[in-house]
A and B are shown apart, each in its own frame.
Chain A
């Protein structure tokens, strides 16, 4: 085996790939070869590092130099300076604004505040190994847990370990994983299945994608462990087709695992056999709901089925089935290797371990983070997330995507766990966190999420199919200034009935964003309805563009107005005709003197 003096790790996650990290990798390889360094420097394409905001990211080891927002032309400099002459290119290093001034240059990846504050379990190998090389996974203790399970543990011991760890489903419901496995294990039947839900669909959530892209073998190992524990010999991964990189890497990983005898007949020379298949989702959000997912795997229309029967009793093709999402599985090998006590030592009383969150919206460090359960929301947003850009004021954070709700500044000191979030009218969901500042209109946010659910409702049951649509129409009216006070009562009653009588989780949680914004921001709704104003200045129909005394009469606004509704002479105060104005905002963004405001 050859030894390399330097390793260049390049993020190959979807985010960095979309900003050309694939080309950066090519360029590195080209230059390294040109300089004859290919026996000394290894260029590795890894999974996601998590700090997507700063992508494309490259890390050069052994120093751990953390280069961020790397451009293709920067590669030449890094190669000629860092790799050839051993001089770190400080101008390209990530600036850690959270660190004290003297430590802001990220000469060592492990010292970056964003990472120091995290605890990576599910993301352990993401950004560390090359996901397309099984040996790298094995070198990081890969398949060791499967080996231990098959050669040293009985299925009951495995169930026991997972139960003791306190691991709960990371896909949103938070059902105890060990108990779910036990249900399937106890259901009699010669054929059972393990299903992995990789149909991650919440807007702004990409935890599962990153694990699949960065550490696909971990999923294979965990599913095989689940198979052993429950008596299943076949696994299905239902993964959305919108994740091409993840699909490709998982396919490679499955092939490699088969070649190495880690999937297939008589794994580790035991009687245990396990095989896996990938099923591609065709874009329906509802297929992330487990019964719709099962229907889709079976080749049926992706529509939910009533529960009971639960999948543990009657799942894929009517056989006992365990369905967990990617992140849940990703914790399992670690639990086996380090012991359930270690896992249960992290987190709160009822929510153990760590959780991956996708930070997005109005936040400086958008990206993927993994923290211990029980971490305070404030710590996540202000410290790890680096606070709100442009010095704006924090307003709320939406957790749980379209099924969740918002949490306001008053509750930022609450420790994050399943139960606390539910008590605040939100939910853990799959882990999306969308941060909103003072410029976000909460009625508009509720409308956005409902618009999503209306599009994604499968149409099977009346409350969800018809009810969410009517709620959206009411919200549309309110944001257009046509709302009436009784609309709020209508929204609340509809929301209550949709939640209580819909068939599946999608409908049962779809009204949450509305209920939650009504709970914390009722005055904003009232301002839209009674005052016909949008306090955050978002809802176009309620805005009026006005030119203030700051106008110098430069006439730029008049020129840019597409409907010619601005009048005024050179060097004279200009005026907007509010009846003709289409509120496009072109004048406001053009004005060099910030003289145009909307109110």
Chain B
């Protein structure tokens, strides 16, 4: 156990931990753009700087390990002024279009700007200007809004292991792009959208089919229905319609989703979606109730088993079912129907 003084309070902590972890565990607010506990600390945005007694300058709390006897202050005038400076500098290179930005309401830049009462016009000068890359089907890359926290690059590299994007050029001209600047669709990008999910501002955004403001929508946590992994996600729902999906940082998926979970939700409200079982009556598919449909299927199974034997039947289960559903299916076939003819599409 180490002893650390945090904003005047002495606390005991188990090390190793970064100063940021210690502060957050103590319930303190420390702003960050580039930090993500799943990723290797990077120290790029400098929002999380704090004062440590005896240190030559402010230190980035996300990368600095806490040490026994450390005296840390997270909101001194020097710290606040440094954070304000960072925000003013970001604003000097960021369009002031929050009123029409889809990220509004969920944007860290907006929140911190409000919190620290930042003068967004403190500096006037050159801005990085680039065309918005619309080449991906599911999201766009608007480098005019990028604050270069690098989370998208790191999540793609460290967690998704695709490494489709990276930094290009240097200094003031640095930007996030794909190999040879040929467009996102020409890269090895698998459109998982994990970069979109981690972007703290409106630079990487889904091509939303619905117009909504973040404060109009509610979040409903659910399990992704595409496969058996059980990824946790929030459906973003407005007026009882799913308008977006975000990953939930839970055990099964650690805040990641694949292209289907992240972007493939439009089937939910699709007019072609089957909402009731169908039975072919007199050569025509006709909507029926579940009881009728199940009775029909059960009857056919029984009839086949009785006439031809149980081993003439086989069950094939879908990877879109959960473990529990898969279990029930084999139970039904082994115990109910009386056959071991059972397979699963994931085996193929």
Residues 303-330 of B, flagged 1 when their CB comes within 8 A of A and 0 if not, give 0000000000000000000000000000
A-B contact number at CB 8 A: 105
CA distance A497 to B89 in the complex (A): 11
Q: Are A465 and B174 in touch, CB under 8 angstroms?
A: yes
B60 partner, pick from A306, A465, A466, beta carbons under 8 A: A306
Stretch at the interface among B21-29, B39-47, B281-289: B39-47
Contact A306:B43 (CB < 8 A) given known A462-B86, A462-B147, A501-B85? yes
CA distance A490 to B171 in the complex (A): 21
Residues 45-56 of B, flagged 1 when their CB comes within 8 A of A and 0 if not, give 110010000000
When distances are taken between beta carbons in the complex, the residues of chain A under 8 Å from B65 are: 308
Q: Are B49 and A469 in touch, CB under 8 angstroms?
A: no
Cβ of B297 to closest chain A Cβ, rounded Å: 59
CA distance A494 to B170 in the complex (A): 21
Q: Are B57 and A508 in touch, CB under 8 angstroms?
A: yes
Q: Are B171 and A463 in touch, CB under 8 angstroms?
A: no
CA distance A490 to B85 in the complex (A): 10
Interface residues on A, range: 20 to 34
A461 within 8 A of B: yes
A462 partner, pick from B41, B46, B122, B125, beta carbons under 8 A: B46
Interface hub of B43, B93, B150, B167 (most chain A Cβ within 10 A): B43
When distances are taken between beta carbons in the complex, the residues of chain A under 8 Å from B72 are: none
B78 within 8 A of A: yes
Contact A466:B57 (CB < 8 A) given known A457-B170, A459-B171? no
Cβ of B48 to closest chain A Cβ, rounded Å: 10
Q: Name the CB-closest residue of B to A303.
A: B167
Q: Are A461 and B46 in touch, CB under 8 angstroms?
A: yes
The B contact surface, by secondary structure, is loop
Within 8 A of B (CB), among A289-319: 301, 303, 305-306, 308
When distances are taken between beta carbons in the complex, the residues of chain B under 8 Å from A508 are: 57
When distances are taken between beta carbons in the complex, the residues of chain A under 8 Å from B86 are: 462-463, 497, 501
Cβ of A115 to closest chain B Cβ, rounded Å: 39
Q: Are B82 and A306 in touch, CB under 8 angstroms?
A: no
How many chain B residues touch A (CB < 8 A): the figure is 37
B173 within 8 A of A: yes
Contact A500:B58 (CB < 8 A) given known A308-B65, A458-B171, A493-B81? yes
Q: Are B43 and A459 in touch, CB under 8 angstroms?
A: no
CA distance A494 to B63 in the complex (A): 23
When distances are taken between beta carbons in the complex, the residues of chain B under 8 Å from A81 are: none
Q: Are A467 and B78 in touch, CB under 8 angstroms?
A: no
Q: Are A494 and B85 in touch, CB under 8 angstroms?
A: yes
B169 within 8 A of A: yes
When distances are taken between beta carbons in the complex, the residues of chain A under 8 Å from B150 are: 460
Cβ of A173 to closest chain B Cβ, rounded Å: 11
Within 8 A of A (CB), among B59-104: 60, 63-65, 78, 81-82, 85-86, 89-90, 92-93
Cβ of B98 to closest chain A Cβ, rounded Å: 19
Cβ of B168 to closest chain A Cβ, rounded Å: 10
CA distance A308 to B43 in the complex (A): 11
Q: Are B171 and A461 in touch, CB under 8 angstroms?
A: no
Cβ of A65 to closest chain B Cβ, rounded Å: 49
Residues 439-459 of A, flagged 1 when their CB comes within 8 A of B and 0 if not, give 000000000000000111111
A473 within 8 A of B: yes
Q: Name the CB-closest residue of B to A476.
A: B125
B268 within 8 A of A: no
When distances are taken between beta carbons in the complex, the residues of chain A under 8 Å from B166 are: 301
Q: Are B46 and A284 in touch, CB under 8 angstroms?
A: no
CA distance A459 to B45 in the complex (A): 11
Cβ of B313 to closest chain A Cβ, rounded Å: 58
Cβ of A502 to closest chain B Cβ, rounded Å: 7
A95 within 8 A of B: no
Interface hub of B49, B93, B123 (most chain A Cβ within 10 A): B123
Q: Are B172 and A501 in touch, CB under 8 angstroms?
A: no
CA distance A306 to B64 in the complex (A): 8
B44 partner, pick from A284, A462, A494, beta carbons under 8 A: A462
When distances are taken between beta carbons in the complex, the residues of chain B under 8 Å from A460 are: 44, 148, 150, 174
Q: Are B85 and A503 in touch, CB under 8 angstroms?
A: no
Q: Are A503 and B126 in touch, CB under 8 angstroms?
A: no
CA distance A496 to B173 in the complex (A): 24
When distances are taken between beta carbons in the complex, the residues of chain B under 8 Å from A308 are: 64-65
Q: Are B148 and A501 in touch, CB under 8 angstroms?
A: no
Q: Are B82 and A465 in touch, CB under 8 angstroms?
A: no
When distances are taken between beta carbons in the complex, the residues of chain A under 8 Å from B85 are: 463, 467, 493-494, 497-498, 501
CA distance A502 to B89 in the complex (A): 13
When distances are taken between beta carbons in the complex, the residues of chain B under 8 Å from A494 are: 85
Q: Are A459 and B60 in touch, CB under 8 angstroms?
A: no
Cβ of B128 to closest chain A Cβ, rounded Å: 10
Interface hub of A456, A469, A501 (most chain B Cβ within 10 A): A501
CA distance A26 to B174 in the complex (A): 47
Contact A454:B171 (CB < 8 A) given known A461-B43, A465-B148, A501-B85? yes
CA distance A536 to B78 in the complex (A): 36
CA distance A467 to B122 in the complex (A): 12
Residues 154-181 of B, flagged 1 when their CB comes within 8 A of A and 0 if not, give 0000000000001101111110000000
CA distance A473 to B93 in the complex (A): 13
Q: Name the CB-closest residue of A to B63.
A: A306
When distances are taken between beta carbons in the complex, the residues of chain B under 8 Å from A61 are: none
Seed contacts A457-B172, A508-B57; 9 additional CB < 8 Å A-B pairs: A458-B170, A459-B169, A459-B170, A462-B46, A466-B93, A466-B172, A469-B171, A501-B58, A501-B60
* Pairs A–B under 8 Å by Cβ, sample size 27: A301-B167, A308-B64, A454-B171, A455-B171, A458-B170, A459-B148, A459-B167, A459-B172, A460-B44, A460-B150, A462-B46, A463-B46, A463-B82, A463-B89, A466-B89, A466-B172, A467-B85, A469-B172, A470-B92, A473-B126, A493-B81, A497-B81, A500-B57, A501-B46, A501-B57, A501-B82, A508-B57
